[in-house]
Structure 1
Amino acid sequence: MDAVAVNLAAVESLAIAAGQAILAVRDGGISICLKADASPVTEADQQAEALILEGLAALAPTVPVVAEEATAAGDVPTEIDGQFFLVDPLDGTREFVEGRADFTVNIALIEEGVPVLGVVYAPARGVLYSGSAGEAFLATIGPDGAVADRRAITVRARPSQIAAVASRSHRTPETDTYLARYEVADCVSVGSSLKFCVVAAGEADLYPRLGRTMEWDTAAGDAVLRAAGGSTTTLDGRPLVYGKRHQAGDCDFANPHFVAFGGAPA
């Protein structure tokens, strides 16, 4: 089947609508349940995912969707070869539940294992990152969901003293060991997929993740980073790929450890 052309602006609109729904749930009070893996899920996750799935079905009805909550419920497309969407309706649920602002809506399009389009919307921050076809953007989103400002972003050349970004909730000793390879002038802790976006916008140079992630956690931010001129590789230097199924020793869609890079050394 030929690849379906997907409009970036249409996916941005879906992410914004999902983010507005999440904020409405937050303002009305958060009810929390636990999934089978003991991770939290809220009504906001469920409402946002339903909205996104409906929108993607209208936008690209022949393209399969792998979504976090649907997957947890056992609803996974049987065939995802070639082109498919990866959706995390609320990345950073713990940040959301604890009242922090570092939670995002993530929507990505994958083609032949590569994230070619991505949207990361942080509704509590009022910022949206997006990218496709070698162009990446940062937009300010108003309280009504309207785009108030939009500019292109790119990674920066890597300086001798780098700025790193690390997970706020899942930083590991292995991450600190990896960072010891570099002359790190600053290391900022950020939640959710915003870590990729900080590197994509040229505000940091390196994001190592030596801990557990799933493909829907990373695909949208990775797509934005690659569109901005960066890269994401496994620890042996190979590009991180998507659509991983039937993995020896791990579940479908689980990622290995990886490192997201900005530009090459200056």
Structure 2
Amino acid sequence: MTTATLPPILPAVIDLVTTAGVWLANEFARPDGPRFSDGDTSPIDTEIELFLRERLTALLPARFVGEEAGVLAAEANGYCWVVDPHDGTRAFLEGRRGSAISVGLLRRGIPVLGVVYAPTSPDRGPDMIAWADGGGITRNGVPVPIDLSRRDLTSTDIVFLNHGAGQRPVWNSTACAPARFMPLPSIAYRLARVAVGDGIATVTLRPVNAHDIAAGHALLTAAGGVLVAEDGVPVTYGEDGDSRPFACFGGAPAAVAALRARTWRGSTEPRREPKIALAWPRVAEDQRFDRALGCLLGMVVGDSLGSQVEFQSAQTIARRYPGGVRDLAPSAVWDTLAGQPTDDSELGLALARSLAEAGKYNADHAAAAYGRWYASEPFDCGHTTALAFGAAASALTHKARAARAKANAASQSNGSLMRIAPIGVWARDPDEAARVASEDSALSHPHPVCRAACAAYAAAINAALSGADRRGMMETALRVAEAAGAEAAPVLAVLRQARAGVAPADFQHQMGWVLIALQNAFFHLAAGTRTELALIATVAQGGDSDTNAAIAGALLGAADGRASLPVRWVMPVLTCRPDPGLHPARPRPNDYWPDDLLDLTEALLLRRAPS
């Protein structure tokens, strides 16, 4: 072949890689975990490579360089397939999501095609990023016009690092500053995500080969980025497909230059063990998992979005944010980081960790978790919550009894509803979700209205995970509220109003009232409001904006899944680490960081003790 025009083979390559991705996802979902040959390899890697080698060389005859089966020579035509059938195998075998299939094509040493597919992306679900010379980058078939060439390293940016980077949060946060970092196993996928704008750069400090980087390099180049070795020399390839940089930096040129100047080696920070350790079998990449992630991400996103304007009036917010509060940013109200939880989702995280650890709901275990949270000196804590959980913190035993004894039986505030979403994710069915949510509410907010609100809300979330649409979620909530009796009649009334298209009339008067938050969330559910728009609209109403948005975010995230939450909201949450060693204004213990929220969500779906 002498023409310089690449044949139109990209759709066929994408189809082949998609097929291989199904194999990889199925391997991850094996009941006993993936097969392995040793600590770094799995038979699935070789199986995928042999499949791709046969099909790709039939599609375009060329030299083939693979990681597992080696080199397949061909008549010299200037083209060379460079393939890693499974980039990130070690992390995959350890149970980490985010490994990828990487297919690159070189023409006389120049990348002209790149396809990177992560069938088990931790935050995105199946994620296919592709490009071929003469076209634009696509993500899951949708064009993604990105230009990295003029971007600088800023505080809103993300740097992708290896999958163990989170175990040294202070060292790696300092190296990436003012940006944040997100760990991912596959360098190919890290490069690909930079190419579609999820991050500004990626750094790998270990030696790499062409099969690790060729596809990602192609994507990065198409987006105006660069890939250089540690000494700043651009990464190149021989016509035989060989390239062996000792380490590399890829991304926006200015960001790469800045990051190369940092100290990356020699950390003395003690290595921290992950907060969540997941075992096999794992949760399938299905609707249930997607909606569970949407629920808990929505809880933290809504909390952080609303915290920027908490207690302000709708008029004040409209003046300051004419287009609405649309981005996660540091909160001047609380001096928190973008994506940092306040009391709403900190308590939600405490409950989720209790459920994951115990494998069942235990009121004493939950009360102990809430007591530890109270003893951690949170920067925000409602009066009703403080009464109960202060007592739990002080009690040496019988912590649930101590909390209930001090709980304000007259309060109808929203402090239990704001934390209750994890029960909807964890429970086996809506009825169990309702029962346990009511029991948990009684620890701090025992009023029948609070308990019924929590029950209806958690049941609706659980119904979503079982496949219910928005109408089915609403019907579940109404059924639970009807069963709660006359004392909970106000809950049934506001749910009926929400179903009829009536939003709360006033978010300012009694701004912490549980029924404002409940009616608002179910109003948007019934109206079909997109999650993103519902949270912006909720925050725009002012009042207890973080709590209202956290409650709406979890409900609507459960309805619509994680893709309903924009990347610009999800990434600040998953990279938020208010470690005291980084000197944030509001340092917090790492149990209240949301950086492991994806693993925690999966743990809720897995960690169920037998009935």
TM-score, normalised relative to structure 1: 0.78
Residue 226 of structure 2 corresponds to residue 226 of structure 1: no
Q: Distance in 2 between matches of 1:116 and 1:237?
A: 22
2:235 to 235, 240, 263: 240
When the two structures are aligned, how many residues end up with a matched partner? 239
For residues 24-45 of structure 1, the C-alpha deviation after alignment (integer angstroms, 9 at most, x for no partner) is 33334522113xxxx6221211
Cα drift, residue 264 of structure 1: 4.6
CA–CA distance in structure 2, aligned partners of residues 118 and 80 of structure 1? 21
Does 1:103 pair with 2:104? no
Residue 136 (1) aligns with residue 137 (2)? yes
Change (3 A) 1:49 1:106: same
Rounded Cα–Cα distance in structure 2 between residues aligned with 1:78 and 1:119: 22
Distance 2:248 2:77 in 1: 23
Cα distance change on mapping 1:170 and 1:11 into 2, 3 Å: farther
For the residue of structure 2 that corresponds to 1:41, the secondary structure is coil
The answer to whether the aligner puts 1:158 opposite 2:162 as a matched pair is: no
Question: Cα deviation per residue 1:49-107 (whole Å; 9 max; x = unaligned)?
Answer: 1211111122012x111011112xxx453887832010111111122212222111100
Query: When you count strand as a share of all residues, which structure comes out higher?
Result: 1
Percent of residue pairs identical: 29
**Residue 182 (structure 2) aligns with:** 188
The answer to whether structure 1 residue 262 and structure 2 residue 261 are counterparts is no
For residues 90 and 232 of structure 1, do their structure 2 counterparts lie closer, same or farther at Cα, with a shift above 3 Å needed? same
Distance 1:40 1:262, change over 3 A: same
- Counterpart residue number, 1:145: none
What's the secondary structure of 1:255's corresponding residue? coil
Whether the 8 Å contact between 2:80 and 2:239 is mirrored in structure 1 is no
State the AA in 2 paired with 1:190. Answer: L
1:33 aligns to 2:37 (yes or no): yes
TM-score (norm 2): 0.36
Change (3 A) 1:244 1:98: farther
Amino acid at match of 1:214: N
CA–CA separation in structure 2 for the residues paired with 1:104 and 1:110: 19
Higher relative contact order (CA 8 A, sep 6+): 1
The residue type paired with residue 135 of structure 1 is G
- Write the deviation string for residues 97-145 of structure 1: whole angstroms up to 9, x where unpaired: 1222211110000122221110000112311011122621111xxxxxx
Q: Which runs of 5+ in 1 are unaligned?
A: 140-148, 246-251
Distance 1:4 1:155, change over 3 A: closer
Change over 3 Å in CA distance of 1:239–1:263 after alignment to 2: closer
1:83 aligns with 2:75: no
Q: CA deviation at 1:5?
A: 2.6
- Once residues 191 and 153 of structure 2 are traced to their aligned partners in structure 1, the CA distance between those partners, rounded to angstroms, is 18
Counterpart of 2:554 in structure 1 is none
SS at match of 1:15: helix
2: CA distance, partners of 1:123 / 1:108:
17
Find the aligned partners of 2:100 and 2:223 in 1 and give their Cα distance: 19
1:253 offset after TM fit, Å? Answer: 4.1
Deviation of 1:223 (Å): 1.0
2-structure distance, mates of 1:167, 1:27: 23
What 5-or-longer segments of structure 2 have no aligned partner? 256-611
- Are 1:67 and 2:66 an aligned pair? yes
Read off the aligned partner of 1:8 and give its amino acid letter: L
- CA–CA distance in structure 1, aligned partners of residues 165 and 107 of structure 2: 29
In the alignment, which residue of structure 1 is the partner of 2:24? 22
Q: Match of 1:122, as an amino acid?
A: A
Shift in CA distance, 112/65, structure 1 to aligned 2, threshold 3 Å: same
After the TM superposition, list the runs of 4 or more consecutive aligned residues in structure 1 that deviate by more than 6 angstroms: 78-81
Does the 8 A contact of 1:4 with 1:60 survive in 2? no
Distance 1:159 1:169 in 2: 22
Question: Of the two, which has the highest radius of gyration?
Answer: 2
Give per-residue Cα distances to partners, 1:152-192, cap 9 Å, x unaligned.
24144224444322111489x9xx69x74x64331111110
Q: Which residue of the partner structure matches residue 52 of structure 1? A: 52
Residue type of the partner of 2:146? T
- Say if 2:227 and 2:248, in contact at 8 Å, map to a contact too: yes
CA distance in 2, matches of 1:254, 1:235: 12
Give the counterpart of 1:119 among 115, 119, 123: 115
Contact 1:85-1:108 within 8 A present in 2 as well:
yes
Q: Distance in 1 between matches of 2:185 and 2:76?
A: 29
Change (3 A) 1:254 1:237: closer
For 2:130 and 2:158, the matched residues in 1 are separated by 22
Distance 2:192 2:43 in 1: 26
Shift in CA distance, 183/31, structure 1 to aligned 2, threshold 3 Å: closer
